[in-house]
A and B are shown apart, each in its own frame.
Chain A
Amino acid sequence: MTSAISLTIRKYSWKYAGNLAFWIQRLTGLGLVFYLILHVHTIHDLRDPAKFDAALATFSKPFFKLGEIFLLATVILHAMNGIRLTMVDMGVGLTKQRQVFWYFTIGLGAALLIAGALPMFIYGILRHQP
């Protein structure tokens, strides 16, 4: 017997780039909302300067830097896909939707991620001084 969940998931067209893009947009969006709430909450708690410095020291630890790289990836995916969707709404690239998704959203997005994450990785993680 196949589970009801897998039967439902099977009904969605996972082989299509458009479907992938749709779910990427939803999941990264939810992730960013969650992050934003966490972010505002943390900042809100840091009105005392001593506490602020301590928190900043914690946040520059390699583990948090890794998290930041992950955050950057989420932001880039959401933004690039959002730009793609805006283009679709304006009637640009309607006949080349698969190429726009793979080359623009994923390809250019990956290039931006590498450009942004490399310095973060080198200075924040490899050469991190506690």
Chain B
Amino acid sequence: MATYQIRVARSGSDGATDSFTVELDHRMTVLDALFLIQREQDPTLSFRCSCRVGMCGTCAMRINWQPRLACQTRVLTLKADTIVVEPLAHLPVMKDLVVAMDPFFEQWKRVKPALHPDPKRDPKKLAVVPPTSEFGKQAQGKRDCITCGACYAACGIVGSNEEYLGPAAINKAMLRLMDPRDNAVDERLEELNDENGVWRCHTQFNCVAACPKGINLTDSIMKMKRSLLFPKKFHDKRNFVDNP
């Protein structure tokens, strides 16, 4: 056990933080620390979590200046006795560490995140997507997004322009565009080919550094930029899959 100083940003206090002293085992996470504070010191402290195992994405917050999942951040790994916990940036704060995710999901909706299957296809027939195919390769490691918003909050472009699609939505669009079963290609490409679409990205790589799932979002954005520049290549790649 070690003593940690947890400084939590409280809403309505003009950015001032409340400081709590807690005893933590080094295996405990920032989320554990917040629960401890809520139970023993200040029941009014607000934060959000659900799965506690890094798969729901509700507990993303800024921990020592970096967007992270509180449930996946062990206090020991921060290598600091003082831990500053703040709500995600570029999203409206509802209370303390709880932010409204609406701006993030508004952009997410713009790229039509759901599958829009080709009506001509027989829905009973399963599409065969070999792992060695382009989509199979692209989807590897790119489909793990848990919509936590860490990438959105880390992006400096989002901070200065709320019209920007944001990295997670573009990554989602790429996955759908690569999917040979999907039919909403032109609508999505149009949404991406916009001054507030892929072209707004200045390759800061903040999203890549922040993503708790290790998704290389800038890679997805650059792939989409190139697909828009070389549409023929993109369509060739899309149609390679065995499409019965």
**A residues at B contact (CB < 8 Å):** 1-2, 4, 6-7, 10-19, 21-22, 85, 88-89, 91, 94-95, 97-98
CB distance B66 to A10 under 8 Å? no
8 A–B contacts, CB within 8 A, in A order: A1-B14, A2-B14, A2-B16, A13-B67, A13-B154, A13-B156, A18-B203, A85-B203
B209: chain A residues within 8 A (beta carbon): 13, 15-18, 98
> Number of B interface residues, CB 8 Å?
26
Known: A16-B209, A18-B204. A94 touches B222 (CB 8 A): yes
B89: chain A residues within 8 A (beta carbon): 10-12
Closest to B219 in A: A94
Known: A7-B15, A17-B205, A97-B205. A12 touches B159 (CB 8 A): yes
Contact code string B201-221 (vs A, CB < 8 Å = 1, else 0): 011111011100000101100
Known: A2-B15, A22-B156, A94-B218. A16 touches B206 (CB 8 A): yes
The 9 closest A-B pairs by CB, nearest first: A18-B205, A2-B15, A11-B89, A16-B209, A7-B15, A18-B204, A94-B219, A1-B14, A13-B206
CB distance B154 to A22 under 8 Å? no
Distance from B216 Cβ to chain A, minimum over Cβ atoms (Å) = 6
Known: A18-B209, A94-B216. A89 touches B156 (CB 8 A): no
Q: A24 vs B222: C-alpha distance in the bound complex, in angstroms? A: 21
Distance from B63 Cβ to chain A, minimum over Cβ atoms (Å) = 11
Known: A10-B65, A15-B66, A94-B216. A89 touches B222 (CB 8 A): yes
CB distance B16 to A1 under 8 Å? yes
CB distance B67 to A88 under 8 Å? no
Known: A15-B65, A18-B209, A19-B156. A95 touches B219 (CB 8 A): yes
**B residues at A contact (CB < 8 Å):** 14-16, 65-67, 86, 89-90, 154, 156, 159, 202-206, 208-210, 216, 218-219, 222, 225-226
Instruction: Identify which of A10, A12, A91 gathers the most chain B CB atoms within 10 Å of its CB.
Output: A12
Distance from B129 Cβ to chain A, minimum over Cβ atoms (Å) = 23
Contact of B216 among A21, A22, A95 (CB under 8 A): A95
Closest to B65 in A: A15
Contact of B205 among A6, A11, A14, A16 (CB under 8 A): A16
CB distance A13 to B210 under 8 Å? yes
CB distance A22 to B16 under 8 Å? no
CB distance B67 to A89 under 8 Å? no
A94: chain B residues within 8 A (beta carbon): 216, 218-219, 222
Q: A7 vs B225: C-alpha distance in the bound complex, in angstroms? A: 33
Q: A91 vs B223: C-alpha distance in the bound complex, in angstroms? A: 8
B203: chain A residues within 8 A (beta carbon): 18, 85, 88-89
Known: A94-B218, A97-B218. A19 touches B204 (CB 8 A): yes
A95: chain B residues within 8 A (beta carbon): 216, 219
